[in-house]
């Protein structure tokens, strides 16, 4: 696991505590370093259902930047809000849909199959790198190209190691 800052760990553990009883996953750039992908994590993206999004809004009421509400922003629609906690912007997305090639795709299945990674002894649910790669490739945004390359390179490393050990 690539190191993440103590401050980010504290934020992830706090989110986990406040989301007790609700399903969620951490996605986006924060999900990559903990899975061995060398990128700088930007904000913290939380994917949950609409009730989880409103719960976080309630639990972090003193840290709200933008209250959770249903919104559509370009190729994204969800119950979206922003929280500022522990020097991090936390983007909350409930019932996220992403438009890819003219079709709106739901992403609630990601919540049901997280990659659970221990942080300070607590299992935190993350979206796995293969699913993040698929999402970034579908979005095809300039800002995601470096992440796509980093994921691709990170996923290929075990193959290269096993190939070289066979020789």
Residue 68, in any domain of the structure: yes
Residue 91 placed within a domain: yes
Identify the domain containing residue 12 by its residue range. Answer: 6-128
**pLDDT, tens digit (0-9, with 9 covering 90-100), for 8-61:** 999 999 999 999 999 999 998 898 888 888 778 779 999 999 999 999 999 999
CATH of the domain at 17: 3.30.460.40
Q: Is 80 exceeded by the pLDDT of residue 139?
A: no
Q: Does any domain span residue 87?
A: yes
Q: Where are the alpha helices (DSSP H) in the chain?
A: 6-18, 50-59, 109-112, 129-139, 145-166
> Is the residue at 115 inside a domain?
yes
Q: Which residue has the tokens 């119950």?
A: 79
Number of domains in the chain: 1
* pLDDT higher at 155 or 102: 102
């Amino acid at each position: 696991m690539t190191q993440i800052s103590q401050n980010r760990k504290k934020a992830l553990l706090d989110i986990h505590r406040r989301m007790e009883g609700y399903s969620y996953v951490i996605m986006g750039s924060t999900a990559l370093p903990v899975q061995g992908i060398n990128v700088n994590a930007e904000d913290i993206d939380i994917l949950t259902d609409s009730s989880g999004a409103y719960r976080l809004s309630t639990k972090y009421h003193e840290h709200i930047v933008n209250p959770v509400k249903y919104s559509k922003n370009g190729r994204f629609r969800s119950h979206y809000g922003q929280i500022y906690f522990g020097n991090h912007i936390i983007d909350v997305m409930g019932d996220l849909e992403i438009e890819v090639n003219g079709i709106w795709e739901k992403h609630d299945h990601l919540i049901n199959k997280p990659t659970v990674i221990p942080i300070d002894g607590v299992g935190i649910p993350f979206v796995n790198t293969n699913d993040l790669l698929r999402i970034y490739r579908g979005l095809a945004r300039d800002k995601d190209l470096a992440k796509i390359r980093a994921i691709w390179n990170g996923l290929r490393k075990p193959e290269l190691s096993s190939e070289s050990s066979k020789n």
